[in-house]
Chains A and B, each alone.
Chain A
């Protein structure tokens, strides 16, 4: 079975972004970029399934600026077999992502697509569900476990009150949650090997997808700051403050 994995290039999770002075967005110039953490989990899952013998080929896909090639090389170093960059300078929104992946699925015919549940930059949490809907395939969002048996998948997914067990036929679109796995670190020999793996570059036009953003960002602002708090010396003072100043207990 072939697996398609999405990888997004985002601002590194440890960096606190700054809003630009003119309100046009956040400052991403000279900021460290990395693979979106949930996409790392997606790649790791595909690699583990290949190691276990249920997957034969892993194709990593990214959409965006030419520098996304670096993110794809990371996916290749983790164990993906080949990569596709759908190159565009336009702002990429989830509906367009879903349409690009749909076109690629029609071409590549994977048995499984694994995407991260959410990108940590725009925090949308949409693309996987949208892709599943456009393809008319089953959806398994926020998964913490997946097992393939024959032509179906047994899934455990995270829901608000606990866990849900789901059974679905392949092909399937799955989105990853945190506890699915812990991604491996890439090793130097694998980074060297990844340089030799194939990376195709195509344009959205070649897939017949219109990337025009549907949502217009009017302005981006800083969130309101919390007023400075105080250090209290001991439990007695804390209880006094909570009772008599904040009046919350």
Chain B
């Protein structure tokens, strides 16, 4: 079984990148936390924008 590749999501308001592989431990998101497992009320740690304002990106 192959695991799904990690993806990156970007805040369109400030450019903060959420990398699933790295997570954001300071925000309580351990490495490997998938985007869909982050609560919908989570906000961008840099600018406070809602999760809905993120887009998946290739960096």
Q: A and B from one assembly?
A: no
